[in-house]
A and B are shown apart, each in its own frame.
Chain A
Amino acid sequence: MATRADAQAKVGTGIGFVVIMIWCLLPVAWIISLSFKSTAETGAGSPQFLPKDGTLDNYKTLLGVGTLSDGTKPDPAVSDDFLQALLNSFGVAAIATLLSVVFATLAAYAIARLEFKGKRLVLSLALAIAMFPVVSLVGPLFDMWRTFHLFNTWPGLIIPYMTFTLPLAIWTLSAFFREIPWEMEQAAQVDGATSWQAFRKVIVPLAAPGVFTAAILTFFFAWNEFVLAISLTSTTDSRTVPAQMSFFVGPDPFNPPYGQLATASVVVTVPIIVIVLLFQRKIVAGLTSGAVKG
């Protein structure tokens, strides 16, 4: 009886798994499929799921390489804009992540280790900021940035991104720091380390999974963010990919370039997947096992 129940449970789990996979991955598959379709095909009334004759034209147009299937060169205006937006996305996300993680690490360490007045206030304030709806800040920020000449610049995006990601990073990291036994640091100090050396050589390596987690979350936020990116930029000098994609209208207003949009989506998703796969190995829980008697 038990084995039959087990088998049933297995089949049930399998079915559930497949359903969820289809639910999650079908749109992704649809986007990928779209990115290989020509404009003629996406414009047709009811297109089929798989491209009839796959083409790399969309990729060539966006990246500005090779020759299109009709023998012409891709339009440099489209590719230049897209590549510039891609560069902006990378720059803004990377700098915001780096700064956010550095500040969050220092702040979280202080919060985890030191007893000071207003510690709870700092933590709850950080949480309050994280809960604030981004959209409500767009207006004031727009006015402020214009006055400070930060409108349509990289710092103009990096600063708000940092503000919104710092709280989460601080909370994540201070939880990690609290897990690290005090003795680690004391041992290092007895061994001859200064406080800074103890922090850098012992605490930070031990908190590495936390640092990477915080970094990935911050990077995702900055990479995907749309509302601020569209409101605080005006040209491709600082516009990021999510904002740039809304400008993919094509020559015919009734016939948007679905293929190109899909292609752009695929192109911006690839770095995220690569980053997750790279860092996944770093986010190893239980790195501190063996430090102290468990």
Chain B
Amino acid sequence: MASINIQNLVKKYGDGFPAVNDVSIDIADGEFMILVGPSGCGKSTLLRMIVGLEDITSGDLTIGDRRVNDLAPRDRNLAMVFQNYALYPHLTVYENIAFPLRLAKMDNAEVDRLVKEASKTLELDEHLQRKPGNLSGGQRQRVAMGRAIVRQADAFLFDEPLSNLDAKLRGQMRTEISRLQKKLGITTVYVTHDQTEAMTLGDRVAVLKRGILQQLATPRELYDNPGNLFVAGFIGSPPMNFLPCEVSGSTAKLPFGEIELPPEKARAAEGKGLLIAGVRPESFEDATLAPKDKGGATFSTTVDVVEWLGNETYAYIPFEAPPEVEKQLRQLEQELDGEALRTQLVISLDGASRIKEGETAEIWMDAAKLHLFDPATGENLTVDRENAGEIPGAKVTA
């Protein structure tokens, strides 16, 4: 077991395009680190640089106290689970798991003990003599994990291990991986594009965009204090709402009405002109069901579509955005691999809400949970630095 230290790592391909650009992440011993981002953000490349399958263009990679930049994969003592499992089809499950041990020239009794131990942990005992071709997706996944846990590796690396499983199995395996990691207490780096996996599994999450680290923080910090528009839009489902907003004094003017800002947020936004306000869907509520003791504002608007899910209700409210904000939002949508057709507000209401489609409804909004973003840089002006982990690109110091 060991810590992994990534220092200013850069990966440039032949055409000079930096797939990973100056990324620094410090992964503590035993930590579960998630690398997350939309496709093409360099997360898999970063993982493959750690394991040694991609050369490092510049920067330092330290595992434990060894600089491993120039070591071959076999000398780094890391275990990896590939996206497509990469099981050896000509070997039985037993020999697949035993493969790293056999390469290490371990004696047969020891190999047998370790393989049995791993297969017991992963409940593969009855499949040991079968070939991977005869196993189901979930079983293959477990064999791939068995091959990783069987040896005393310094760290586990997972490259989107659940993306090939169906939704139900994915949920189960996610819990299983989490349990296994806690039990073994081994340093883990896990690549995913799925923000649910990132939020549920990670001790800390590194959000990447086009090879650049956006924010490195715990899931809670990311959710409550996103460093910029990109992180705010990526983390959370349904995603955060972005609205054009003009602040004068302590009053913020939103498309639906005006809202009184808490003093520290008003100060951060002072004199910035047109901003983008970010509000999570659950910061809204049906005014009749809203908590009376909290501050915030109430406004009335027309609800376009209502989706009732039993425990909660999603309501959709379209709005018009000024062109400069709309342009920024469209670009953000592209970066997030999304395809929104119109600017609309998604709000999550209590399941007991009786608001109907096409009705004018009273909606309450929690002003304390509102974030203000600079439309030019995308930076979060109202971020709480103390509780936002690391935001490498930030220029504003609050």
Interfacial residues, chain A to chain B (CB-CB below 8 A)? 181, 183-184, 186-194, 197, 201-202, 205-206, 208, 287-293
Q: Which of B90, B103, B132 interacts with A193 by CB under 8 Å?
A: B103
Chain A residues with CB under 8 A of B89? 206, 287-291
Chain B residues with CB under 8 A of A183? 82, 84, 86
Q: Which of B82, B103, B133, B164 interacts with A197 by CB under 8 Å?
A: B103
Per-residue interface assignment for chain B, residues 72 to 103, with 1 indicating a CB less than 8 Å from any chain A CB and 0 otherwise:
11100011101011111110000000011001
Q: Which of A186, A202, A287, A288 interacts with B82 by CB under 8 Å?
A: A186
A205 touches B74 (CB 8 A): no
A190 touches B164 (CB 8 A): no
Chain A residues with CB under 8 A of B177? none
Query: Nearest B residue to A183 by beta-carbon distance?
Result: B86
Q: Is B376 an interface residue (CB 8 A)?
A: no
CA distance A292 to B164 in the complex (A): 10
Chain B residues with CB under 8 A of A287? 89-90
Chain B residues with CB under 8 A of A193? 74, 103
B residues contacting the other copy or chain, number (CB 8 A)? 31
Query: Would you mind naming 29 contact pairs between A and B with Cβ atoms under 8 Å apart?
Result: A183-B86, A186-B82, A187-B82, A187-B86, A189-B72, A189-B74, A190-B51, A190-B52, A190-B53, A190-B73, A190-B74, A190-B78, A190-B80, A191-B79, A191-B147, A193-B103, A194-B74, A201-B99, A287-B90, A288-B89, A290-B87, A290-B131, A290-B132, A290-B135, A291-B85, A291-B132, A293-B85, A293-B137, A293-B164
Per-residue interface assignment for chain B, residues 140 to 152, with 1 indicating a CB less than 8 Å from any chain A CB and 0 otherwise:
1000000100010
* Shortest distance from the beta carbon of A192 to any chain B beta carbon, whole Å: 4
5 closest A-B pairs by beta carbon, nearest first, are A290-B133, A292-B84, A183-B86, A187-B86, A290-B132
Q: Which of A192, A202, A293 interacts with B84 by CB under 8 Å?
A: A293
Answer whether A206 and B90 are a contact pair too, CB < 8 Å, given A190-B53, A290-B133. yes
Per-residue interface assignment for chain B, residues 288 to 329, with 1 indicating a CB less than 8 Å from any chain A CB and 0 otherwise:
000000000000000000000000000000000000000000
Chain A residues with CB under 8 A of B53? 186, 189-190
CA distance A194 to B85 in the complex (A): 20
A189 touches B73 (CB 8 A): yes
Q: Is B167 an interface residue (CB 8 A)?
A: no
B104 touches A192 (CB 8 A): yes
CA distance A201 to B91 in the complex (A): 10
Q: Is B134 an interface residue (CB 8 A)?
A: yes
Interface Cβ pair total, 8 Å cutoff: 84
A192 touches B74 (CB 8 A): yes
Chain B residues with CB under 8 A of A206? 88-90
Chain B CB within 10 Å — which of A184, A287, A289, A290 has the most? A290
CA distance A187 to B79 in the complex (A): 9
Chain B residues with CB under 8 A of A197? 103
B84 touches A191 (CB 8 A): no
* Shortest distance from the beta carbon of A212 to any chain B beta carbon, whole Å: 14
CA distance A189 to B79 in the complex (A): 10
CA distance A190 to B72 in the complex (A): 9
CA distance A194 to B71 in the complex (A): 12
CA distance A189 to B78 in the complex (A): 10
* Shortest distance from the beta carbon of B85 to any chain A beta carbon, whole Å: 6
A291 touches B74 (CB 8 A): no
A191 touches B99 (CB 8 A): yes
* Shortest distance from the beta carbon of A177 to any chain B beta carbon, whole Å: 15
Query: Nearest A residue to B163 by beta-carbon distance?
Result: A293
Chain A residues with CB under 8 A of B72? 189, 194
Chain B CB within 10 Å — which of A186, A190, A205, A288 has the most? A190
Query: Nearest A residue to B89 by beta-carbon distance?
Result: A291
CA distance A287 to B100 in the complex (A): 22
Chain B residues with CB under 8 A of A187? 80, 82, 86-88, 147
Question: Which residues of chain B (33-84) have a CB below 8 Å from chain A?
Answer: 51-53, 72-74, 78-80, 82, 84
Per-residue interface assignment for chain B, residues 97 to 127, with 1 indicating a CB less than 8 Å from any chain A CB and 0 otherwise:
0011001100000000000000000000000
CA distance A288 to B86 in the complex (A): 11
CA distance A283 to B100 in the complex (A): 28
* Shortest distance from the beta carbon of B352 to any chain A beta carbon, whole Å: 43
* Shortest distance from the beta carbon of B22 to any chain A beta carbon, whole Å: 26
B88 touches A192 (CB 8 A): no
CA distance A192 to B99 in the complex (A): 9
Chain B residues with CB under 8 A of A289? 89, 133
B87 touches A186 (CB 8 A): no
Known: A191-B74, A201-B99, A292-B86. 6 other contacts (CB 8 A): A183-B84, A186-B82, A208-B90, A287-B89, A291-B88, A293-B164
* Shortest distance from the beta carbon of B230 to any chain A beta carbon, whole Å: 30
CA distance A208 to B52 in the complex (A): 28
